[in-house]
Amino acid sequence: MFDYFKGFITDKRKSSKGTYLSIEVTGVGYLLEISDRDFDSVSVNEDKQQKIYSVLTHREDSMSLYGFLNKETRDIFQILLSVSGVGAKMALALLNEFDACDVISLVIDGNFKELTRAKGVGPKLAQKIILELKDKLMKTDFPRSSASSSIPQTQAISDTQAVLLSLGYEENEIEDALNKVLPTIAENSNSEEVLRKALTTLSM
């Protein structure tokens, strides 16, 4: 329902219930729960507008807004919510511990032990996250077209293309991002490095 809010950050605070920021948009203040990472990065500034990506969740007894400084982090949050047994608090706990690229890499690598570093994530849930998300992130085949024929199809590139498609990026956006980052990475770069640089380029 809400893709993002663009306005003035008027407040940020932590409480026993969570970590929050307030953003004022055309005279209306919205309270969004955010990750600890974003809390440390965002600044209260009533003179400069800032963009906060958002997710609205709805339960029988409540509606809640969650905010993210980056689109890719918001997208990973939504993907995490698709795992049965993972709610918003658990998804935020994972994003408190890991950035978006780290979460993707751990899922692709099947590293469930590392995922258990997040507060409240036990071995069984970590394995379930990997089991349910790995196929979602990797099942998309990137179409081979003339526009992308100049991009070398290494495993790292293929993995990056599949993940970015799963996150909702368009083919031309992915091709443009990869063409920009390829000169900056080594030929033997792994998937995590390529993905991290591509996401950074896409978020600019």
Nearest to 137 by CA among 69, 82, 203, 187: 82
Q: What's the pTM value of the predicted model, to 2 decimals? A: 0.79
Indicate whether 148 pLDDT > 70.
no
Asked if residue 185 has pLDDT above 90, the reply is no
* CA dist., res. 37 & res. 124, Å (int): 25
Number of alpha carbons in the 13 Å side-chain half-sphere of residue 88: 21
Q: For residue 102, count other CB atoms closer than 10 A to its CB.
A: 18
CA-CA distance, 60 to 175, in Å (whole number)? 42
> Alpha-carbon distance 54 to 88, whole Å?
12
CATH 2.40.50.140 at 4-68, yes or no:
yes
Are 36 and 69 a contacting pair, CB within 8 Å?
no
Amino acid letter for position 82? S
What is the chain's mean pLDDT, rounded?
Answer: 87
pLDDT band at 141 (very low <50, low <70, confident <90, very high): low
Tokens representing 29?
């203040």
Greater confidence, 82 or 136? 82
Please check whether the domain covering 71-136 is classified as CATH 1.10.10.10. no
pLDDT band with cut points at 50, 70 and 90 for residue 199: confident
pLDDT at 146 over 50: no
Say which DSSP state 182 is in. G
